[in-house]
Amino acid sequence: MKQKPRVAVFDFADCEGCELEIADLEEEVLDLIEIVDIVSFREVMKEHSDTYDIAIVEGSIMRPMDEKRLRNIRSRSKILIALGACATIGGINKIRNQWMPDEVKKEVYGTADLKGNELFDVFQTKALNEVVPVDYYIHGCPIDRDEFKSVITAIALGKKPDIPRYPVCVECKKNENICQFELGNFCLGPITRAGCKAICPTHNSPCEGCRGLIKKADTECVKEVLERYKLSYEDIRRRCTMYNYGRKECSYDE
């Protein structure tokens, strides 16, 4: 009988919420472990193995020691999956990239002496693909459990997962939501990747772009909408810093 793929789950700078989503599959965890062997998943079990085929990684890369650890994981795995916004696009962790690491450390730790301590040796936050090649991306903050299942089954079947490359508006309209703009809110939905079933607008909260922008914020169409709704570029720039700070390119293929 063909051996089940061995899966290991790791995290870096994150809240572990995306990993928790995997645990929150509840009864479906039984289905999951029928098709894969989870050999390492610190958040839910103490067993660990250094031999695995698929690595699922949550969190951003902050320090040289993180880079080293990630490269090690990459070298041991055939497939690397970035789990959640911190891993796929840097997410909230990139907010601090607006300032130099030293400024940030001073703000947080004050006058504490952190020299030579590798735990605090941070550089500008990096998403996983800024350090190693990533095979698949599961976007969102947190991830969508259905999308997680879809990606895992695709990998198990040997097919490329089908991640939307169109904006949240498609799913929002299918849900028959009243457009956030009509309610006077600025929503990042039109320039954000879909796949979350527009969960935030459906629950009356404008989209924050956690799945990654698929259109740059400084395009003509965005400027047009800003003008029409009497919003400033400052507004959108600030909204985008939550999850999408410093993304020079909006990669379609992620």
Partner 1 sequence: MKQLVKTITKKDFSTFVNTLIKDGSYDVVGVQAKGKRYVFDTVSSAQELRLDYDVTILPPKKYFLPQYEMLLKFSLQKPFEGKETITDVPRIIIGVHPYDIIALEQTDRHYLDQQQDSFYKKRRENTIIIGVDIQNVSERSFAASMKTNTTESGFDLLLTDIGNCYAVTIGSEKGDKLLKKYATVKDASSTDLNKIKTARNAVLKKYKQKIKIEKKDWSPLLVANYDHAIWEEHADVCMECSSCTMVCPTCFCYDVKDEVSLNLKQGNRTRTWDGCMLKDFTKVGSGEVFRDEVKERYRHRFFRKGNYLPERYGFVACVGCGRCGSACLPDIADPCNLINELAHFTSEDDTGRYFIKEENEVLEKGIIHVPRSATIKKITPFNELDSLFEIELDDKKPLGHKPGQFVEVSVFGYGEAPFGISTPPGNTPLFEIMVRQVGNVTKKLCSLQPGDKIGIRGPLGNGFNVKSFEGKTLLFTSGGTGMVPMRSLINHVLDPKERNKFKDVIILYGAKRPKEITFMDDVDRWKKIPDVQCEITVDRCEPSECWGGCTGLITTLFPKIQADKLDSKNTIAVVIGPPVMYKFVIKCLQTLGVPDDNIYVSLERRMKCGVAKCGHCQINGIYVCKEGPVFNYGTLKQLPEAF
Q: Which residues bind partner 1 (CB under 8 A)?
A: 25, 28, 31-32, 34-35, 149-150, 152-153, 156-160, 162, 165-167, 169-170, 173-179, 181-183, 189-191, 215, 220-225, 228-229
169, 213, 215, 236 from 191: Cα distances, Å: 9, 5, 5, 11
In the bound state with partner 1, the residue whose beta carbon lies nearer, of 65 and 178, is 178
Minimum separation from the CB atom of position 53 to partner 1 (A) = 16
Minimum separation from the CB atom of position 1 to partner 1 (A) = 14
Minimum separation from the CB atom of position 168 to partner 1 (A) = 8
- The rounded distance, in Å, linking the Cα atoms of 210 and 90 is 10
In the bound state with partner 1, the residue whose beta carbon lies nearer, of 97 and 150, is 150
> Cβ distance 100 to 156 under 8 Å?
no
Minimum separation from the CB atom of position 54 to partner 1 (A) = 15
In the bound state with partner 1, the residue whose beta carbon lies nearer, of 148 and 243, is 148
In this structure, are strands 37-41 and 6-11 parallel, antiparallel, or unpaired? parallel
In the bound state with partner 1, the residue whose beta carbon lies nearer, of 90 and 206, is 206
> Cβ distance 244 to 89 under 8 Å?
yes
> Cβ distance 114 to 120 under 8 Å?
yes
> Cβ distance 40 to 55 under 8 Å?
no
> What backbone phi and psi angles, to 5 degrees, belong to 129?
-75, 0
In the bound state with partner 1, the residue whose beta carbon lies nearer, of 115 and 203, is 203
Minimum separation from the CB atom of position 37 to partner 1 (A) = 14
Longest dimension (CA), the chain: 63
> Cβ distance 173 to 207 under 8 Å?
no
